[in-house]
Amino acid sequence: MSYAEAKKLWSCNDKIAALNYERFQTMDLKRSLTPALLAYEGIQYQYMAPRIFEYDQWDYVEEHLKILSGFYGILRPFDGVVPYRLEMQAKGSPDGGNLYGFWKDDIYRALAADTDCIVNLASKEYSKCIESWLEDGITYVTCVFGEERDGRVVQKGTQAKMARGEMVRYMAERQITDWREIKSFDRLGYSYAEEFSDEGRLVFLKS
């Protein structure tokens, strides 16, 4: 893949494209690996703050948390990763092929093999690779973080990312194993809004 093709795939500026193109040229998938949960630096991971987890919180996320990745598919917190840039929604070929087509139902199957309940704290771009394949027998609950405006829920991207990370920390601190218990989430000014929630969607509104 040429530099121009890579930059188009990543939809980024020259500085970021140059950095990641160099990474791919020298990438070694077996050396200099970083635990996945410590490798990502996005807003949701900053608010999750895994670097200050207690031992029991690390045990909790290793058992319960899965990270969706356009490059790796699905990761556990301690799985080793290399630096990369590849968003799930990226189109990887001239005919419009994308990572949803590449992964098909593999990511969903890997999740469903370990549990009968999935609490979704991913963005729409990533949760799409799960929701397209959902089957009976799996409880699937999406957490929505927003504000009420004129009787409807409005989400703001940055604030939603912050809340998703904070929710993981909240669950780890309380060792939550029943998804209903997350209704008590009360951080960053959010509280559960039953009137906007339903069987598959838990809505938390910012006061």
3-state helix, strand, coil in the chain (%, to 5): 45, 20, 35
pLDDT at position 140 is: 97
Distance (Å) of CA 185 to CA 7, 153, 193: 40, 17, 11
- pLDDT (tens, 9 = 90+) of the chain, 207 residues, equals 565 655 555 555 666 666 655 666 665 567 668 999 999 999 999 999 999 999 999 999 999 999 999 889 999 999 999 877 677 776 654 455 688 888 999 999 999 998 999 999 999 999 999 999 999 999 999 999 999 999 999 999 999 999 999 999 999 999 999 999 999 999 999 999 999 999 899 999 998
pLDDT at position 94 is: 44
For 142, list phi and psi in degrees, rounded to 5. Answer: -100, 130
Distance (Å) of CA 71 to CA 12, 41, 42: 17, 16, 16
Domain boundaries, the chain: 33-206
Rounded Cα distance, 177 and 170, in Å: 12
Whole-structure pTM value: 0.84
Angle in degrees, 0-180, between the axes of helices 157-174 and 55-64, rounded to the nearest 10 = 110
Residue among 122, 164, 148, 141 at smallest CA distance from 205: 148
- Owner of token pair 């989430």: 185
Any idea what DSSP says for residue 15? H
